[in-house]
Amino acid sequence: MKYYANGLTFKLEQEKDGWWSIYRLNEYIGKYIPQLQAKDLEHAQNYCDMQEPTLIPLERLVER
């Protein structure tokens, strides 16, 4: 399921063991990047709610 928080897009998927995997959309490459796992949906959504977008594209700073 997709989850939106603070202007960011996340994908939350429940694994076979019951834990939730959290993926964050990288807007520069258009792919979801794994972030971490949470024990239930509430904790996964809380993690997403605490994330804030960076104003500077860090990926471009590293490429130099």
Would you state the pLDDT for residue 57? 66
Share of the chain above pLDDT 70, in %: 88
The residue-averaged pLDDT of 12-24 equals 97
Asked if 11 and 1 touch (Cβ cutoff 8 Å), the reply is yes
Q: Which domain holds residue 8?
A: 2-63
Would you state the pLDDT for residue 53? 84
DSSP 41-64: HHHHHHHHHH----SS-HHHHHH-
Residue 64 has pLDDT above 70, yes or no: no
What total of structural domains would you count in the chain?
1
Share of the chain above pLDDT 90, in %: 73
d(Cα 31, Cα 29) in Å, to the nearest integer?
A: 6
pTM: 0.81
